[in-house]
Amino acid sequence: MAIMRINVGPIHPGTHGVLRLVVDVDGDTIKDVEPHIGFLHRGVEKLMETRMYMQNPSYTEKLDYIAPLSWDDLYVNSVEKALGVPVKEPAQYERVILLEFQRIASHLLWLGTMVNDIGQLFTIFMWCFRERAKVLKLLEDVSGSRMFYVNLRLGGFNKNPPPDFAERCHQLADYLESKITGYQDVLDADSVFMERTRKVGVLSKDDAIAHGVAGPVLRASGVQEDARRSHPYYVYDKMDFRVPVKANGDAYDRYRVRYEEMLESIRIIRQAVDAMPEGDATGMPIRLIGPQAKPDTIIMQEELPRGEGIIYMVPDKQRPYRIAMRSPAFANLAVLPKISKGQRFADLFSIIGSLDVIMAEIDR
């Protein structure tokens, strides 16, 4: 047996960010993979402890630049719980709507780049970005920015949604459903996509639990865990939706979970739009947030596009005294060595893609 050691990254289109992989191969068979992280470390958690509460969303949005609203919402929700600021009912529904649109946009970018990474179906790549552009346009019109929104305020948003918000949400939901439902037939009919995802990077249910993976990676291995159900926040407990779960734990099932999640997000959006009450959805102006009594420690979790994100915060009167974040992408990347051993070297990129890692969140 002659082992060859190959460096993949830190600059490589298949590593989904600034990630270095040291890969040992015997011929074309992977014997070991060692991820090297830290190239994007900025010390975000420590920086946030030096800023006042609402100076930090600009940091949290950069943790996941594919779905900036997700970490932003988790942080602001944590501060609201810490300071005892209630979220206005219209704002709760609007947050659910925007979070689900953000989830769809994230999954669309993932799917487009995933199929592109394995050298197939550039048509799907173009379709995904076409649909994603429609979602980003709505988020831009609501927040004022196309990528980094920073539009959350304690108790609500920086401004009320546009007058035609409900109508546009329904139109966009109908459009997305009509387009996304056609993806499955195209992908399932592509023999190369099926060969490079089925029985590739298999993660068993027991190993998924033991390694603490999260989100679609966990659910593709047969574990029905979703923070929107197990720890409902806002009005998710009023929504009727299914949590997609698969049993094989391979790259194909991880694709199917995310694909079905997009359709479930559309269901949630329609219900939330129809039930959203009229009224003011604006939150507390930043300049009016004064010193507060020191509250209790907060642990807050939300279902982000890549899995359950958790914030542990020890609040002080005007800023987080201590803050720590549990990244679902970090937990999912940690399982890469286990599910890569014995696979072909070429399939390493299918496996990484199926994990949907985001290095800015992992390194922080």
Inter-residue long-range contacts of 290-294, CB under 8 Å, 24+ positions, other chains counted: 290/318, 291/317, 291/318, 292/83, 292/317, 292/318, 293/317
Give yes or no for a contact between 249 and 205, defined as CB atoms under 8 angstroms apart: yes
Residues across the chain: 364
pLDDT of residue 257: 94
CATH code of the domain containing 309: 1.10.645.10
d(CA 346, CA 28): 8
- pLDDT over 90 for what percent of the chain? 52
Average pLDDT over residues 81-98: 92
User: Quick one: pLDDT band at residue 281, thresholds 50, 70, 90?
Assistant: confident
pLDDT of residue 271: 95
Using the predicted structure, report yes or no on whether residue 16 has a pLDDT greater than 70: no
Residue 223 to residues 202, 234, 244: CA-CA distances in angstroms?
14, 24, 10
Average pLDDT over residues 357-362: 88
Nearby residues of 226 by Cβ (< 8 Å), 6 or more positions away:
219, 243, 303
- This prediction has a pTM of 0.92
pLDDT of residue 185: 87
pLDDT of residue 82: 87
Q: For 269-328, what is the HEC assignment?
A: HHHHHHHCCCCCCECECHHHCCCCCCCCCEEEEEEECCEEEEEEEEECCCCEEEEEEECH
Q: Is residue 359 part of a domain?
A: no
Using the predicted structure, report yes or no on whether residue 146 has a pLDDT greater than 60: yes
User: Quick one: pLDDT band at residue 3, thresholds 50, 70, 90?
Assistant: confident
User: Judging by beta carbons within 10 Å of its beta carbon (0-12, 13-18, 19+), is residue 277 exposed, middle or buried?
Assistant: exposed
- Residue 324 φ/ψ, nearest 5 degrees: -135, 145
d(CA 44, CA 361): 10
Using the predicted structure, report yes or no on whether residue 125 has a pLDDT greater than 70: yes
Number of domains in the chain: 1
pLDDT in tens, 170-227: 999 999 999 999 888 888 888 888 888 889 889 999 999 999 999 999 999 999 999 9
Q: Is residue 51 part of a domain?
A: no
pLDDT of residue 246: 93
- Complete edge-to-edge strand list for the sheet that includes strand 298-304: 298-304, 307-315, 320-326
Q: Is residue 120 part of a domain?
A: yes
Q: Is residue 345 part of a domain?
A: no
d(CA 166, CA 143): 15
Of 33, 157, 181, 153, which is closest to residue 91 (Cα–Cα)?
Answer: 157
Q: Is residue 132 part of a domain?
A: yes
Q: Is residue 257 part of a domain?
A: yes
Average pLDDT over residues 303-329: 90
- pLDDT over 70 for what percent of the chain? 95
Residue 144 to residues 108, 160, 286: CA-CA distances in angstroms?
22, 12, 17
User: What totals of helices (H) and strands (E) does the chain contain, helices first?
Assistant: 16, 8
pLDDT of residue 364: 81
pLDDT in tens, 291-300: 565 677 889 9
d(CA 325, CA 255): 26
pLDDT of residue 190: 84
Using the predicted structure, report yes or no on whether residue 306 has a pLDDT greater than 90: yes
pLDDT of residue 291: 57
Strands 152-153 and 3-8: unpaired
pLDDT averaged over the chain? 89
Q: Is residue 186 part of a domain?
A: yes
Average pLDDT over residues 302-312: 93
Tokens of 261: 């999640």
pLDDT of residue 13: 57
Give yes or no for a contact between 216 and 356, defined as CB atoms under 8 angstroms apart: yes
Q: Is residue 40 part of a domain?
A: no
Domain range for 247: 66-318
Average pLDDT over residues 19-36: 88
Average pLDDT over residues 62-87: 90
Tracing tokens 């939330």 back to the chain, one arrives at 272
Give yes or no for a contact between 36 and 19, defined as CB atoms under 8 angstroms apart: yes
pLDDT of residue 312: 94
- Residue 216 φ/ψ, nearest 5 degrees: -60, -30
User: Judging by beta carbons within 10 Å of its beta carbon (0-12, 13-18, 19+), is residue 135 exposed, middle or buried?
Assistant: buried
Of 149, 164, 2, 1, which is closest to residue 73 (Cα–Cα)?
Answer: 149
User: Quick one: pLDDT band at residue 103, thresholds 50, 70, 90?
Assistant: very high
User: Quick one: pLDDT band at residue 342, thresholds 50, 70, 90?
Assistant: confident
